[in-house]
Structures are given as structure tokens and as C-alpha cells.
Structure 1
Amino acid sequence: MAEETVVEKTWRLMLEGHPTARRGDPEVMEAAHAEPRLRALFPFPSHGCLTFHRNTEFPWSNDLPFIASGQQSYTVYAPQYSGVLGEVLTPQEAAALVVAHLPPDCGPAFEGPWPAENSTG
């Protein structure tokens, strides 16, 4: 059996609610994990949002859309709050909206920090 990647382990610990894992909206995390393209990215829940990164260590890529959980809806933002891509009623719709706005070259996350020359924040 192959060893888990950092991305796979991070998703697993978050979904299991492991004490060392970052906390976020469980429904959003499950919906995002169900999307193969998002499952390949590094998840980072913080401040009511679930962000996705192309790498596994700080500094983060910060160049992908993300989901913010609201009281009765979910807002999908463009990278770094540069615009609203949509507001939807379910976490599944939010995850699908993120996938629809991923860059075509957005492949699996690589292990390590985002290269300084590409850093956006």
C-alpha cells in the first residue's frame, strides 16, 4: 500500500475530526472532498472559509477560488476576495462552482512552499 501524501493525510484528518487537524464546516469539507479536482489540492479551513492551494506549505499559492460559509448560503470568492463568483444554497453547489473556476493547469498540489517568484500573498 502506498504511503499517504500530505494532501491525502490532511483531507483524511480533517474529515475524521482529528484533534490535530484544522477545523471547518464539515458539510463544506465533505462536498469539496467529493470533487476529484478539489481533493487533489491542499485544503485550508480558516475563519469560516475553505481555501485550496497548489502547494502544502506556507507561503500558500493563494491563487484559487474558495468557499465562505454563511448562515444559510455559501459564497464562492475569486482568489484573495478579488470578486464574488456566486452565492449558492448548498455546499455541493459551492464546491462545483469552485471547480468550474479552477485554472485549466491546476493539477495536484505539490509538497513544499509556493515559489517566491510566483507568490501572490
Structure 2
Amino acid sequence: MTNIVDAAWHKVLTTYGEPSRPEQSPLLKPFAELVRVAHAKPVLRQLFPWTGMWELHFSRCTEMNYTWDISHIGTLGDSRYYVEGPSRSNPRIAETDSAQAAVAMVIDRLPPGCGPAFAGNAGELAAYEKARDSR
């Protein structure tokens, strides 16, 4: 695990991991739970986390353009979660009442040999893997 990944998880945990004000979005509390549950899993903690639209994404690289080969988890308004992906064009995999179940679904779908995150972007990771695999 790299310091870049540790720092990204720290940012996600401190930004979303503890809901601080009840007047904030109703999605904050379930999202905070999701972030804590995902961070507790070593296999996910070695990946680069990023967020958007109340979704938690995981990348095999640390810089934009991130990889889109890992499913992501979103928060629904009724304290439920959905798992989609890995890309935006893939259909929704499932909905669940449990952050633990959603995280388990992502872990079950991780690509073989996933992690730790590569220091660089998706293109650089692809070039590295191609060169490594051709040896």
C-alpha cells in the first residue's frame, strides 16, 4: 500500500466517515457507514478510493484517469445501497440494506491479482501490465 492510497483513504474517512451534522444530506449517514465498512477490508484498503454522487469507487491506480474495472457502491435515499459496474454502462448488480453486503459483492467481483494500487494513471498501469505480462 502506498502513502498516496493511505492519504486518499484518510481524506475519504475524514470527509465522509463520520456524519457530523444531522441537517446535512440524508445520504451522509449511510455513506459514512459504507466508507467505514469498505476501509475495514484490507483488500479494498489497498485500492485508491474516490467518491462522487454518493458513490464509493475503487481504482487500481492512484491518478486520473482511474481504472473502471472494479464495481462501485452507491447510497440510496432510504439507507440502502446499490452495487454497479464496473463501468457506468454495466447494469445495476444488486441493491441491499447492508453496507457489509454491498462491500462483499464488490470484493467477490474484484479482478484477479487486484492491488495494491499502481502509482500512476490507468494508461500507465495498462502499459506496465502489458510489459510485465510479455516477459
- Give TM-score, length-normalised by structure 1: 0.82
- In 2, Cα distance between equivalents of 1:39 and 1:110: 13
In the alignment, the residues of structure 1 paired with residue 101 and residue 125 of structure 2 have an alpha-carbon distance, to the nearest angstrom, of 34
**Aligned letter for 1:26?**
A
2:46 is equivalent to residue 48 of structure 1: no
Instruction: Could you tell me which runs of 5 or more consecutive residues in structure 2 were left unpaired when the two chains were aligned.
Output: 17-27, 127-135
- When the two structures are aligned, how many residues end up with a matched partner? 111
Counterpart pick for 1:12 among 1, 10, 13 = 10
Normalising to structure 2: TM-score of the pair?
0.74
Q: CA RMSD in A?
A: 2.1
Q: Give the equivalent residue in structure 2 for 1:66.
A: 72
Conserved? CA contact 2:118–2:125, under 8 Å = no
- After TM superposition, the runs of 4+ consecutive aligned structure 1 residues lying more than 6 A away are none
Counterpart Cα distance in 2 of 1:13 and 1:116:
24
SS at match of 1:68: strand
Whether contact under 8 Å (2:12, 2:49) holds in the other structure is no
Q: Secondary structure at the match of 1:115?
A: helix
Larger radius of gyration: 2
Counterpart contact for 1:58–1:114, Cα < 8 Å: yes
Percent identical among aligned pairs is 34
Which residue number in structure 2 is paired with residue 114 of structure 1? 122
Q: SS at 1:79's partner residue?
A: coil
Q: Which has the higher strand share?
A: 1
- Say whether 1:75 aligns with 2:82: yes
Can you give the 5+ residue segments of structure 1 that lack an aligned partner in the other structure?
19-23
Aligned partners of 1:74 and 1:94 also within 8 Å: yes
Distance 2:116 2:125 in 1: 20
Match of residue 85, structure 1, among 74, 77, 93:
93
Q: Which has the higher helix share?
A: 2
